[in-house]
Structure 1
Amino acid sequence: MDITVDIFKQNKIKYDWITLNVGLELNLIEYSDIVNYAVEFLANHLEISNQNFIQLACGVDDFDYENLLVDI
């Protein structure tokens, strides 16, 4: 069963990077949810210049999402 970030939004459940990391570790969410959240996060936090956020927002397939999330 896949859980998408949209379920959190629809039910007004607060979530953050930790929530997404746990969801990824439990194979409940997809990488695309993390990419979408990173894009949304950067759009709402223009002052952020951390490369981890930027890499997540780019959605490249050949890097380690888990390690990036842990670093965040």
Structure 2
Amino acid sequence: MSRHVIQVLSASGAWRVKNGAAETSYPNKNDAIAKARAEAKAIHDGGGLSQVLVQKADGTWQTEYTYGDDPRDIKG
């Protein structure tokens, strides 16, 4: 089973949640992360594997949240 990836992306002072082809804008990062995590949990609760990737304002990756089996061998 493939993992469904949801991204929280910086967008010129706003934040976007990209879930497949769908994108939604949010005024702040915390709201965007909360929405992305809720979507990922819903996928996991439905029996799927999901992951949220969070970007910093500078474009580098900050955090990931994995729901289901983690593909990494180490914690963190």
TM superposition score normalised by structure 1: 0.35
By percentage of residues, which structure has more strand?
2
By percentage of residues, which structure has more helix?
1
Q: Could you say which structure has the larger radius of gyration? A: 2
